[in-house]
Amino acid sequence: MFQTLYSYFWWERLWLPANLTWADLEDRDGRVYAKASDLYITLPLAFLFLVVRHLFETYVATPLAGLLNVKEKVRLKATPNVVLEKFYAATTKHPKQADVEMLSKKSGCTVRQVERWFRRRRNQDRPSLLKKFREARLLCLPLLILQKPWFYDLREVWKGYPIQSMLPSQYWYYMIELSFYWSLLFSIASDVKRKDFKEQIIHHVATIILISFSWFANYIRAGTLIMALHDSSDYLLESAKMFNYAGWRNTCNNIFIVFAAVFIITRLVILPFWIMHCTVFYPLDLYPAFFGYYFFNFMMVVLQSLHIFWAYLIIRMAQKFITGKVVEDERSDREETDNSEEEEEVAKNGPLSNGHPVLNNNHRKTD
């Protein structure tokens, strides 16, 4: 049974154009080709990435956060309450008004106290600013691709395909990039969860499939172009995040504007109108369409759909910047404040500072 499935999976017609077999891609005459077994190394490398990341976050990012004066907000903790905690864990973190009134009767708290408890409890689950800062990763843009002729002439991508020898730089670029995306997929459950959590999973899975397939089918030249195009904007976004968490607003906003321009140009212009044009039309001049051709371009469409979704969020953030509003990550949950609590206490006792009335009514501390 396993052998049958294995044979079907590696059927040449799935991966290669007509009249070509795996024997045509065996190393000979000084030519070296990509092999499926090469990708086994990416799994242990992915775990190595996780170890390196942990060391980086502990010994580099954390001290750097201190130097950049990354400050945490003081969060008020929810008072332990068995009834409310059980509802929070088992039912929902955002109770409706009817639920709040029901919980008020069961717990012996007022409606306002129940609402306040849930706000504070949700804030406790939100990641700290330090955690967000530590997770920001600076990616390196590979410059070796700039030296290749297919970077300037896209028809060179398919010249002689699939009899194209693999270069050492291509090998290591693939191994490192695929290992990195495996590590992102392995760690996504423990990372800061944002509003595009599902889209992130789809993106990581689609990227891993695309990288792996392009390796199996010897689409290496096209693959390196696509990876370099993605990396060109990613490191700008990570830089902007770090400066944002450090409170360097002007630096963050300037880098973000550059990132937005690079993202839109590379992912909404160059990728669909140059790279996808290259992968859809140029191969047909050399061989008839086959399953791998359709599959590769379908996955490219999936990625492009995600790019359009993220471009929408980026444009919304850019609009806030242009109109003078604070630029925040549209994917993140905003921390809730206890404004209603303050209003209640002010109505009773006047303005408070650290839980005590203050004499100067022109200054009021907020959480």
Q: How far apart are CA 167 and CA 165, in angstroms?
A: 7
Structural contact between residues 123 and 338, judged by C-beta atoms closer than 8 angstroms: no
Burial status of residue 137 (CB atoms within 10 A of its CB: 0-12, 13-18, 19 or more): middle
Q: Are 339 and 120 in contact (CB under 8 A)?
A: no
Distance in angstroms (rounded) separating the CA atoms of residues 327 and 87: 34
In contact, 28 and 162? CB cutoff 8 Å = no
What letter would DSSP give residue 76? Answer: P
* Long-range contact pairs involving 94-102 (C-beta distance under 8 Å, separation at least 24): 94/118, 94/122
Q: Are 219 and 252 in contact (CB under 8 A)?
A: no
Give the residue among 38, 82, 1, 30 at the shortest CA–CA distance from 220: 38
Is 224 within 8 Å of 202 (Cβ atoms)?
A: no
List the chain domain ranges.
29-67+128-323, 82-125
Phi, psi angles (nearest 5°) of residue 108: 80, 10
Sole residue written with tokens 């059927």:
11
pLDDT digits (tens, 9 = 90+) for 190-236: 766 666 678 788 888 888 999 999 998 889 999 988 988 888 887 78
Query: Per-residue confidence of the chain (367 residues) as pLDDT tens digits?
Result: 777 888 888 888 888 888 788 888 888 888 888 888 899 999 999 999 889 888 877 777 777 777 767 666 667 778 888 888 888 888 888 888 898 889 888 888 898 988 888 888 887 776 665 566 555 555 554 555 566 788 888 999 998 888 888 888 889 889 988 998 898 888 877 766 666 678 788 888 888 999 999 998 889 999 988 988 888 887 788 778 777 777 788 888 888 888 899 999 999 999 999 999 999 999 998 888 988 899 999 989 988 998 999 899 888 887 776 666 554 555 555 555 555 444 444 344 443 333 333 334 333 333 3
Q: Which residue shows structure tokens 């992102």?
A: 184
Query: Which CATH homologous superfamily contains domain 82-125?
Result: Homeodomain-like (1.10.10.60)
pLDDT in tens, 1-44: 777 888 888 888 888 888 788 888 888 888 888 888 899 999 99
Specify the DSSP class assigned to residue 93. S
Closest to 188 measured CA to CA, from 179, 201, 199, 177: 201
The most distant pair of C-alpha atoms in the chain lies apart, rounded to whole Å, by 88
Please state, in angstroms and rounded to a whole number, the distance separating the CA atoms of residues 5 and 20. Answer: 21
SS3 360: coil
Q: What would the two tokens of residue 261 be?
A: 């321009």
d(CA 2, CA 200): 32
Measured CA to CA, the distance from residue 263 to residue 265 in angstroms comes to 6
DSSP H or E stretch at residue 353: strand 352-353
Amino acid, single-letter form, for residue 300: M
- Give 244-270 as a 3 state SS string: HHCCCHHHHHHHHHHHHHHHHHHHHHH
